[in-house]
A and B are shown apart, each in its own frame.
Chain A
Amino acid sequence: MAATHERPSAREIFSTLEYGPAPDSHACALAWLDTQDRLLGHYVNGKWLKPEHRNSVPCQDPVTGENLASCLLAEPDDVAAAVEAASDALGSWSGVPGGERAQHLTRLAKMIQKHQQLLWTLDSLATGRAVREVRNGDVPLAQQLLRYHAVQAHVQEEVLPGWKPMGVIGLILPPTFSFLEMMWRICPALAVGCTVVTIVPPDSPTPLLLAQLAGSLGAFCGILNVVTGPASLGAVLGHCPGVQKVVFCGAAEEARVLRQSLAGHWLELSLALGMESLLLLLDSADVDSAVEGIVDAAWSDRSPGGLRLLVQESMWEETMRRLQIRMKRLRSGRGLDGAVDMGTRGAAARDVAQHYVQEAQSQGAEVFQAVTMPPGSPFYPPTLVCSLPPAAPCAQAEVPWPVVMASPFRTAKEALAMANSMPRGGSASVWSERLGQALELGYGLRMGTVWVNTHGLRDPAVPSGGCKESGSSWHGGLDGLYEYLQPPGTPDQPPFVSEHLNYDNFGPAVPATLPAWPETGPSPVPPYGLFVGGRFQPPGARSSRSVWDSSGKLHGYVAEGGAEDVRGAVEAAHRAATGWERQCPGARAALLVALAAALEQRGPGLALQLKRHGAQLEAAQAEVELSARRLRAWAAQAQAQAQGHTLQVAGLRGPVLRLREPLGVLAVVCPDEWPLLAFVSLLAPALAHGNAVVLVPSGTCPLLALEVCQDVASLFPAGLVNVVTGDRDHLTRCLALHQDVQALWYFGSAKHLEGLLARSAASSKVKPWVSSHNPVSKKAAAQQMSCGQHQPLPLPIPGLPVRGMGFSRELQARVGEQGLPTGLGPGAPGGGPRAGAAGSMDQGPVAAYGGLMSSASAPVPRSRRGP
């Protein structure tokens, strides 16, 4: 802009002391584009792929509108070619020792180091972001990521023996920050031996350059393939045979569409949605520093999205005044200028911001902008929107870049409530000089990452992810690796489902049942009703269904639960969940041990019932015995497992706490087989890790679960465990469509459930864990048990290991290292310990954890170096 004016003389500048343009040359980026004749294709298998007869879109300089290059839009064939290249490369890449992969990643890091100027110039030129952020932030971080994951590749085989790479990973990137988002995800994937196909938006050439740099290393060409095209190609990518997992970063709406189109496929989908961040400013904060934190979070081109700002009411005036003065000093301008705070993100982002601000204004918000941009300017000024209560529609919507949406709160408790009532749970920062208060808020916030007195710090060793609608995928640290690994024992080729399914027909209502007789139930008969809220209650529909034994005789009646009962059960579970979460692990363990003892007391009766349902007596007795052991084993795990731990991260000032948190309320749909063992094996880990549960027991033999519930009623807090009997499909549907169920473990036909989830509104909310594999044949398992070789895994290993919302696989790693947990006995001879042996839970404990980054909250006097 300023360059078009006549240059002022030194004399004028001397009196005004204005800043001038400080442009960086972008000649190197143009020269690189020239090597491609200004036509960017796809980079597949170490070569440029520029198929003919494709549509192309221009890649423009967002400031000047100058055409930098044309980008070919991929067609499904191109995606298929990329997947094929990745599949071909998979064998050699995953086959080589980790050390060799490490070497390759290190070479790539060096390659980036050699060409970093080109990289940052091209990225800033094409995206419009301030070059300072790319140069000082992104490019060094990209190298750190590669080096960190090279180390992980080196040690992975020792740390996680037997774990296998998932295979070909499909990655879909958002329009902004595509380069760094790509690095966060390809580094762990490549480190563990996966190969990647990435779909990048057409106007971001940096990932292509990066792929070319990787390709120029010579070896392992096909491990990183980049295809340019719209995010809608994600469905095509997911349908390509060989793709094991699709990782999506971007808008929630697109993710919903993608999930729907991929439903029913044996494919893991991991989502990272939304870009909004949150900042909590308390009255004990260093306000000036907090204002800098706000600038960091919203107006420095460091973070992709907007910021929601919550300020304690007593600090409101002062904060707003300081913030507005600070806003006046912010400079927007061409990204490749060394003296700007904020670049542009192109016309689309500007229009989104404009629309949002206009909407907010029309709903009564106050809007502050330090400068007004002329119409048609590519820039949008830093904007502060305030006085919009949460009930206004605009206050609920995601805050776009570069808007800060500020609201006051009265107390820290209220701040927590306001923050947690937002549907998004990505990242947040707490500003307070009181350490206790800051930590309490940090623990309380339902967020993937919480920083204390700083905002937006990232390190390769620190996992970051999201809660709630922000998605379920983690990157960074060990958690990032687990995203691309399969535990030992996972079947190699899960079946590929391609038929079209009609999900509307899945369990829409309870089928009518007729009474049957004579009833020859167990004696004493377990109480009739649904076990909800700590007692047996009659079902809402006041009807019942009959249970038949293996010889075809009527065994008894159980209550027929419906949507209303599910709702009641989930409510009861939520009431109990908070208290249970706060219990110390020892107290939880003690109750599980007590339940095990109670189960053993009931042993003979339970075994007889199992026998009636077709089990041999020894097998039935073994199942009861094993169930009790499982409870004890999980009790031990609950106690042994630390609640969280501190990460040593040199790059960040201050420690990082990695916390494990329960998910909340889990819905569990048990398999028909192993009615007692499955029930206990699913119940125990959920409880051990602090969750409340709503269970649907085995359809063929639900009475056993109800019998156990009599002991549960006397031991556990009311509402912690709820058992709803009835039509399995219908109940599953009800649970899947309940928005306030944090996870669903389902044993049955995955395609049905995935379909249901796709239809449910909060597609990213529930992380299903689905299995439709047939269990080990019952006979074989029973034989093993009778031989005293307790194969501890009669339940299926899921074909679809779900990386749950904050699912922790940490424990599994431990199982693999140290053998089975106490009480479960050794694995089959020669078989070695199996992951997931600690229960039916292949995924180990269920826990969400937030990384809590904390900077020292008080100035620390240093003895040597003064401040």
Chain B
Amino acid sequence: MPPAVYDIEIRVAQTLHLIYSSPGEYWDSQCSEDEEPFQKDSLMNLTLAVRLRAGSDLSWISNIQVNQPAVLRRAEQIQARRTLKKEWQAAWLLKAVTFIDLTTLSGDDTFSNIQRLCYKAKYPIREDLLKALNMHDEGITVAAVCVYPARVCDAVKALKAAGCDIPVASVATGFPAAQTHLKTRLEEIRLAVEDGATEIDVVINRSLVLTGRWEALYDEIRQFRQACGEAHLKTILATGELGSLTNVYKASMIAMMAGSDFIKTSTGKETVNATFPVAIVMLRAIRDFFWKTGNKVGFKPAGGIRTAKDSLAWLCLMKEELGDEWLRPELFRIGASSLLTDIEQQIYHHVTGRYAASHDLPMS
């Protein structure tokens, strides 16, 4: 065994011991440090082991309480309590751009519109606007491009042509309904990874949640995790179809225990998509999971986020519930297609003082 790996093994063993003997102390030690305990990439498999060991404990979801009216109330309040104006608004909006998973998930997607999307991903805001804000050298791009599995090749090709390393995310596992056989769902993941997707947005099997088969759900997501290999796993909970906030919390926790890198609200294809109450419950689950294991899991709302104002509200929500450390693309994404246009218009207004006509901004 190479010494480096052996060393890591020991550190993992120590961590595990600490987690199980005194989780509070472990968490405190995590809080005091700014960085994560280990480098994530090199430790992917071993931190996974930590999660799986932790995941064997279903008591994490059996005693939870979620009060729906209280969560709804908090959701109302949180949107009214933070406002951003002037420079702050502009800077936050640019930050929001870097969180976007620029998405197209349509039946009529072809290479040409995927290519347009990829170039928009590379150049999300008009160059002169960025210059005016002195932000042109920050390398602002969106976080990822998200497409159907069959279009991954197109996206990889287009992004390569554009000369950037924006990751390609692919939805998978029978998106959006997940009502296909497990075997084909797993195969979908493998094929997408083969095609060059480095992030996989899988969608969970809602029937397992609604019938309370949490172990089965855990096993499925673990298999997704294994199928992903090196690729990041984002687990879509399709919260609009889970029936209750308590189920949302439990599904979030199971998804994290099974090794998801992100948990994501919805596919964008349900009748109800990313809402604040659901997000609050998921964020609380992420925080609880972090406190229990020391692992930071990312969050991705998707569906229905269309305006710049919405995006700011989501950033504020993250900052309020989880803190600044979650405000980076590794831990926060916004799945959106038309949001970018609105943000660009707001930036235009901030820079010029005028509202843009649609022909002022390049289309995606």
Contact = CB atoms under 8 A, between A and B. Distances in A.
Given A11-B134, A653-B72, A866-B271, A20 B67 contact: no
User: Which of B24, B73, B74: most chain A Cβ within 10 A?
Assistant: B73
B66 interface: yes
B95 A14 contact: yes
Interface in B81-123: 81-88, 90-92, 94-95
B71 interface: yes
Contact of B69 (A13, A22, A296, A856): A856
A453 B240 contact: no
A650 interface: no
A866 B243 contact: yes
A18 to B, nearest CB: 8
B94 A292 contact: no
Contacts of B342: none
B238 to A, nearest CB: 9
B358 interface: no
Given A11-B134, A14-B95, A866-B270, A19 B69 contact: no
B151 to A, nearest CB: 29
Interface stretch (B175-183, B216-224, B319-327, B333-341): B319-327
B245 A867 contact: yes
A8 B246 CA distance: 42
Interface stretch (B156-164, B197-205, B272-280): B272-280
Contact of B65 (A14, A17, A136, A284): A284
B337 to A, nearest CB: 21
Interface in A282-321: 284-290, 292-293, 296, 300, 317
Nearest to B28: A321
A814 B215 CA distance: 60
Contact of A14 (B77, B94, B244): B94
B133 A10 contact: yes
Interface of B: 24, 65-74, 77, 80-88, 90-92, 94-95, 133-135, 138, 239-246, 248, 270-272, 275, 277-278, 281, 284, 315, 319-320, 323-324, 327
B68 A13 contact: no
Q: What are the 10 closest A-B residue pairs judged by CB atoms, nearest first?
A: A20-B88, A338-B83, A859-B68, A289-B70, A13-B91, A866-B240, A855-B69, A286-B67, A22-B83, A866-B272
Contact of A433 (B65, B81, B92): B65
Interface in A846-860: 855-860
A659 to B, nearest CB: 21
A339 interface: yes
A453 B69 contact: yes
Nearest to B85: A22
Given A22-B85, A285-B67, A866-B270, 12 more contacts: A14-B95, A19-B82, A19-B84, A22-B83, A22-B88, A339-B83, A453-B69, A856-B69, A859-B67, A859-B246, A860-B244, A866-B243
B277 A13 contact: no
B80 A136 contact: yes
5 contacts: A10-B133, A20-B88, A453-B67, A860-B244, A861-B243
A285 B83 contact: no
A721 B72 CA distance: 50
B70 A14 contact: no
Given A17-B319, A867-B245, A9 B134 contact: yes
Contacts of A653: 69, 72-73
Contacts of B133: 10-11
Interface size class of A (residues with CB under 8 A): 35 or more
A132 interface: yes
Contacts of B323: 329
Interface string A1-41: 00000011111111001111111000000000000000000
A867 B95 contact: no
Interface string A784-801: 000000000000000000
A508 interface: no
A64 B279 CA distance: 38
A132 B84 CA distance: 14
Given A132-B80, A289-B67, A13 B244 contact: no
A20 B319 contact: no
Nearest to B248: A867
Given A19-B82, A132-B80, A11 B70 contact: no
Contact of A292 (B74, B83, B85, B324): B74
Contacts of B245: 859, 867
B243 A10 contact: no
Contacts of B86: 20
A654 B67 CA distance: 13
A20 B88 CA distance: 6
A861 B244 contact: yes
Contacts of B69: 453-454, 653-654, 855-856
A595 B245 CA distance: 57
A13 B88 contact: yes
Nearest to A13: B91
B243 A14 contact: no
B281 to A, nearest CB: 8
A10 B131 CA distance: 11
